[in-house]
Structure 1
Amino acid sequence: MNEQGEASELLFPAELMTIPASYSEPCDQAGHVERFEYDTFEAFSYGDQTQPLTKNAMVYVPYGYDASKRYNIVYLMHGGWSDQTTYLGTPEAPSQFKNQLDHAMAEGDVEPCLIVCPTYNNTSDEDSGDYALALELTARYPNELVNDLMPAVETAYSTYAYAVTPEGLAASRDHRAFMGFSMGSVTTWHIFENCLAYFRYFAPSSGNAGSGAYWASAVERQGFGAEDFLIIGATGTEDFNGGAFSALMSDMAANPMFQAGDGEPGTNLIFRVGEGERHDGYAANRYIYNALAFLWH
């Protein structure tokens, strides 16, 4: 609140926040990681649904989770040479980033939410290590996400979806985000391209695709407009993909569909560059932390 007692406007920080070092230690108010199994189909023959697959995702459940309450939900995709355990670890061996999430929520930096870490790996855990194959799988991932994972996970956990039908999931899009770094960022762009009906918030980082004109047409093709989404993009000055990602952000900012800013009313594109950041896990966690800290406050 400001001095006049009016609600103040939350703006994205001019410089990316650093995750406090103390957040890496275990937290007294700790959430937990659960392994979530669900049924889907092989990606390349998905339309025929002739090859069933059972896959699993890691789900972060915040401290004090109460199934009688509703929670915002984030889908967070890993990059290349990685899998669903990359961000959160496993129930048996949680990651340092899981500790950081615990502290961030306990300290009020991040609104308590559900975080789902799935994988675009298909028939092999090694798929993400094949660059060309990974590109194909990220493009096909919206099928699995919308038809299989989202209905399954949002049945098991309490979100803002009043039903796990297309209508119920669409009605709760304001409470759902998709994020990812590197190849996870490429996945995020494919979700933006195909799934605006179900997601309002997107946080791609250090993984580019398309152009300003291409993404503007994707918004229009899905029947949405500039007021219907927010993209929070990030990369680093020392990231090998930083130049290309920054060029994409500039191209989008020059397109009338996208209104670049700091989160003020009308903004639908926020972009930050981390000084000295490389294409690594430290940068990925920092970008995700900053995006989470902005949403739903």
Structure 2
Amino acid sequence: MKKGILILTMLIASSLILSACDSQTPDTSASSEVSGTENRLEAENNGVLSDTEKDTNRFPASLTSIPDSYLTEAEQRGTLQDLYYDTYESFSYNEKSQRLQKHAVVYLPYGYDESKQYPVFYLMHGGWSNEYTYLGSPDEPQGMKHILDHGIANGEIQPMIVVCPTYNNTSPEDSGNYGLALRLTDNYHNELINDLIPAVEGKYSTYAEDTTPEAIAASRDYRAFCGFSMGSMATWRTFEHSLDYFRYFMPSSGGPAASTETYESVIKDSGHEWDDFFIFAASGTNDFAYSGFKNGIDAMRESDSGLFRFADNEAEGNLYYLESDGDHSGEYAMLYFYNGLRWIWR
């Protein structure tokens, strides 16, 4: 009981930090498939999955609550690792005149096996935050880490690698400056594609054959970018600048960062079709970012270009949106992440 209270306390602390700011199925081995099937059957029998979710790869009609038990430590626990890599100062990136060493927290699922391939989920923090906000550290894991552990053990979430990086540049305080953070998220694609992804996917077993731009692009079906608030702005910017390297995008309560017409031009200019990506978006009706966020989603939904098609599954569309009655807080951020994670790569 004391342990549960401690974990819940850490979750609330994370929520307070955040509130200040702002289908492709993996080709796994036979043994992994058997384990996943057993876990999924257990989830069905425990009533974790809805009747619709049991038989389809469709999103539910409303957001699914995080079970209370998922906020405590799981029996089957993945591991957190520190990853350090070299990059360059954001605003002079092209000149490569100022080298920086940066850090990301990496989640490896329980039973991680280097002989298997894993999809990668890049999860960006919001304002007044950093790479420790969601997963915590190897010594002090946070609530999102426990949610992943339980969800994977119960067959709700596919085994995957989760990476929490930071767009903070020369100072850990950068995310607390709203205007600066906006500019950094717009620039972040340089570091993301050239430095972070090669560092992650050159070390861990993913679907990328190597870390060349060609190999990263070829494995885009097994790569997602997600974020809440300023992390959502980073997600929209990743769609804008890096569609060649990511298939899935999960923004919530922040943005969109550009107009629907801009995104349509990105899709056309990149040579991608409507069925080459999927956006799952979410926000809360009491969230101060709700109005602008929903208006942006509605503009995509109502576009007659054919490039955005609203549907609860990949076969019929590439855009889906759910909302809660929530505010702009870490509690709701993790609710949105959890719902996206239950669907992706299933």
Q: What percent identity do the matched residue pairs reach? A: 50
Cross-structure match for 1:236: 284
Partner in structure 1 of residue 300 of structure 2: 252
- Under a length normalisation based on structure 2, what TM-score does the superposition of the two structures give? 0.83
Is the Cα–Cα contact under 8 Å of residues 275 and 314 in structure 2 kept in the other structure? no
Other structure's SS at 1:109 match: coil
Aligned equivalent of 1:181, options 228, 244, 255: 228
Aligned equivalent of 1:47, options 89, 94, 118: 94
Deviation of residue 264 (structure 1)? 5.0
Work out whether residues 9 and 264 of structure 1, in 8 Å CA contact, stay in contact via their aligned partners in 2: no
Q: Aligned pair 1:269/2:316, yes or no? A: no
The answer (yes or no) to whether the contact 1:184–1:207 under 8 Å persists in 2 is: yes
Q: Does 1:10 align with 2:57?
A: yes
Asked if structure 2 preserves the Cα contact closer than 8 Å seen for 1:212 and 1:254, the reply is: no
Query: 2-side partners of 1:271 and 1:214: how far apart?
Result: 20
Match of 2:202 among 155, 178, 181: 155
Q: Which of 264, 275, 283 in structure 2 is aligned with 1:227?
A: 275
Greater mean deviation of Cα atoms: 43-52 or 256-265: 256-265
| Structure 1 segments of 4+ aligned residues over 2 angstroms from their partners | none
Aligned length: 291
* Counterpart-to-counterpart distance in 1, 2:109 and 2:340: 17
* Counterpart position of 2:219: 172
Structure 1: state its 5+ residue gaps.
2-6
Alpha carbons 1:38, 1:54 under 8 Å: kept: yes
1:291 counterpart = 2:343: no
* C-alpha distance in structure 1 between counterparts of 2:143 and 2:225, whole Å: 21
Q: Deviations over 1:133-191 (max 9, x none)?
A: 00000000000000000001101100000111111111110000000000000000111
Output the CA distance in 2 between the equivalents of 1:70 and 1:10. 21
Gaps of 5+ in 2: 1-36, 38-53
Distance in 1 separating the partners of 2:248 and 2:164: 16
- Report matched runs for 1:35-184 at 5 Å: 35-184=82-231
CA RMSD in angstroms, aligned pairs only:
1.2
Larger relative helix fraction: 2
Partners of 1:250 and 1:273 in 2: how far apart?
13
**What secondary structure sits across from 1:47 in the alignment?**
helix
Does the 8 Å CA contact 2:122/2:165 hold for their aligned counterparts? Answer: yes
1:8 Cα shift? Answer: 4.2
SS in 2 for 1:76: strand
SS at match of 2:244: coil
- SS of match in other structure, 1:152: helix
Q: Which of 328, 331, 339 is the aligned partner of 1:282? A: 331
Tell me, in whole angstroms, the C-alpha distance in 2 between the residues paired with 1:73 and 1:106. Answer: 18
Is the contact made by 2:278 and 2:314 (CA closer than 8 Å) also made in structure 1? no
- State the alpha-carbon separation in 2 of the partners of residues 68 and 13 from structure 1: 34
Match of 1:212 in 2: 260
**Which of 78, 88, 100 lines up with 1:31 in the alignment?**
78
Contact 1:35 1:56 in 2 (8 A): yes
Q: CA deviation at 1:104?
A: 0.6
For residue 89 of structure 1, report the CA deviation from its aligned partner.
0.4
Distance 2:342 2:210 in 1: 27
2:8 is aligned to none
2: CA distance, partners of 1:191 / 1:165:
18
What is the TM-score normalised by the length of structure 1? 0.96
- Deviation, 1:218, is 1.4
The CA distance in 2 between the partners of 1:185 and 1:77, in whole Å, is 8
Deviations 1:262-293 (A, max 9, x none): 1151310000111x211100110010111111
Could you give the per-residue CA deviations for residues 82-102 of structure 1, whole angstroms, max 9, x where no partner exists? 000011001110002211110
C-alpha distance in structure 1 between counterparts of 2:235 and 2:55, whole Å: 30
Contact 1:75 1:116 (C-alpha < 8 Å) held by counterparts: yes
Hey, what's the Cα distance between the residues in 1 that align with 2:334 and 2:227? Answer: 10
Q: CA offset at residue 46 of structure 1? A: 0.3
1:13-51 Cα distance to aligned partner (Å, 9 max, x none): 101011100011111100011110000000011010010
Structure 2: distance between partners of 1:266 and 1:51: 46
